[in-house]
């Protein structure tokens, strides 16, 4: 169905043509959270559409679009997701009902968007070969950059959900133990970083003890969004042995407001790169589970905002060559019998490329603070400063005529809480990446 057939005028190049139809949760005024679907520059109130009986015989739970998250809808499963999407396309291309539905449209810019899901669990993977090699070369310059397990399993760790934050959030600078001139010292992070990631969202969960077969992944995965896993590299460097990241990763994870469904992404699924050695049987599939995505990182300093200067593009990278796919990640996540629930999500891990300018984190871009990059206001960066605003952007497909957008997600760094603020010691070069 082409965007031109919709009664909603979709501007050329919009990330949200009718071939996309991403869902989100927002409020047009305080305390009025409900679900919306984005079309061009507007959003349609899904709760109002359901209340008007326009979803017909689709087996939707009552008032499922009037809730604070999309979890109830996600639990309905692929048949309901597909029927709802098809019905929306019918409604948005039926000019006879346009006048009725126009009363339920708002400008997208008028909505305050929230986190569209309420995850019980969050997992962060480490699935970009280029990122793993880049980081390995920084910290093990005289050794093999990949650890022995990396090509056998999608390496990951369990994070926390309490600090998953929506678009436009402020990100207080985290504090904790880090080394200052070789001495463990408590204070604000000196090496604040970002991680450019794509999150996969669970629609239908599984029972504990019942692994999800990779062939069934599409029955459980709803879709994707952008994710920024903010990282305190100096805190992480001090704490990560022997149990891995803790305070360095738990203070903020930003997710974009619009969930793009796997059905919408169907035309952009491609074959994954060949894996060597061949994956174990539970990770093996012939389905095209890689996604033809394009991602960007933009940074804007406080001074740039003050003088009306746009953000600076510091990285752009493709996603199609990620070594481990969402289906493999899900199969590995549950192979031991772990359960998942509707609204859970897992991050791809930092997405990086093989060439300069395609790094998905500052630790790679600056070689752990050893070299800086410039911004248009004349300042330079190794890691983030207070006032810096980071925005991630993404879309699927390389052809502007047919591609669809993931939207964007941003966050602005603010000073550490006054109880942890202290003079910052000299920056050191010990950090970690994943």
Catalytic residues: 131
**Closest C-alpha to 266, from 65, 12, 85, 408:** 85
Report d(CA 88, CA 69) in Å as an integer.
19
Please give the helix or strand (H or E) that residue 132 lies within, else none.
helix 129-139
Name 414's bridge partners: 172
Give the Cα-Cα-Cα angle 359, 361, 366 (nearest 5 degrees). 80
Tokens of 286: 């012939």
Structure tokens at 400: 């502007």
Q: Is 211 left (phi over 0), alpha (psi -120 to 50) or beta?
A: beta
Q: Sheet holding 105-107: strands in order across?
A: 105-107, 42-45, 34-39, 23-27, 112-113
Going by their DSSP bridges, the two strands 196-202 and 253-255 should be labelled as: unpaired
Q: How far apart are CA 391 and CA 411, in angstroms?
A: 7
Residues 6+ apart with CB under 8 A from 304: 310, 311, 312, 375, 376, 377
**Which of 43, 54, 48, 45 minimizes the C-alpha distance to 83?**
54
CA distances for 333 relative to 154, 208, 215, 283, angstroms? 9, 12, 14, 11
Helix (H) or strand (E) segment spanning residue 81 = helix 78-93
Q: Give the pairing type, strands 260-261 and 269-270.
A: unpaired
**Residue showing tokens 């109002």:** 48
Per the structure block, which two tokens stand in for 399?
């052809």
């Amino acid at each position: 169905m082409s965007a031109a057939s919709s009664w909603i005028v979709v501007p050329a190049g919009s990330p949200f043509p009718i071939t996309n139809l991403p869902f989100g949760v927002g409020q047009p005024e305080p305390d009025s959270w409900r679900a919306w679907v984005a079309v061009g520059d507007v959003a349609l109130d899904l709760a109002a559409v359901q209340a008007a009986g326009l979803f017909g015989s689709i087996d939707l739970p009552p008032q499922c679009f009037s809730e604070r998250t999309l979890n109830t809808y996600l639990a309905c499963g692929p048949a309901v997701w597909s029927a709802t999407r098809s019905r929306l396309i019918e409604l948005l291309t039926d000019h006879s009902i346009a006048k009725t539905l126009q009363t339920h449209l708002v400008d997208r810019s008028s909505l305050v968007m929230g986190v569209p899901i309420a995850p019980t669990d969050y997992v962060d993977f480490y699935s970009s070969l280029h990122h793993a090699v880049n980081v390995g070369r920084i910290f093990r310059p005289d050794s093999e950059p990949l650890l022995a397990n990396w090509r056998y399993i999608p390496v990951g760790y369990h994070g926390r959900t309490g600090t998953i934050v929506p678009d436009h959030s402020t990100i207080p600078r985290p504090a904790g133990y880090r080394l200052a001139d070789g001495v463990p010292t408590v204070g604000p992070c000196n090496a604040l970083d970002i991680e450019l990631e794509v999150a996969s969202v669970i629609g239908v969960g599984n029972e504990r003890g019942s692994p999800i077969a990779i062939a069934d992944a599409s029955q459980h995965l709803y879709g994707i969004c952008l994710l920024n896993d903010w990282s305190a590299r100096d805190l992480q460097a001090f704490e990560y042995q022997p149990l891995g990241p803790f305070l360095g990763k738990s203070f903020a994870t930003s997710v974009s407001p619009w969930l793009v469904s796997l059905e919408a992404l169907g035309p952009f699924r491609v074959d994954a790169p060949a894996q060597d050695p061949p994956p174990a049987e539970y990770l093996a599939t012939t389905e095209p589970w890689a996604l033809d995505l394009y991602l960007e990182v933009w940074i804007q300093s406080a001074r740039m905002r003050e003088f009306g200067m746009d953000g600076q593009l510091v990285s752009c990278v493709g996603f199609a060559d990620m070594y481990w796919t969402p289906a493999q990640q899900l199969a590995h996540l549950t192979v031991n019998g772990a359960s998942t629930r509707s609204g859970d999500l897992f991050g791809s891990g930092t997405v990086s490329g093989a060439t300069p300018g395609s790094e998905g984190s500052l630790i790679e871009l600056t070689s752990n603070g050893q070299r800086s990059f410039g911004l248009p206001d004349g300042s330079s960066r190794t890691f983030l400063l207070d006032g810096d605003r980071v925005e991630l952007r993404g879309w699927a497909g390389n052809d502007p005529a047919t591609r669809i957008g993931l939207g964007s997600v941003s966050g602005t760094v603010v000073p550490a809480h006054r109880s942890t603020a202290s003079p910052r010691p000299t920056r050191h070069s010990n950090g970690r990446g994943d």
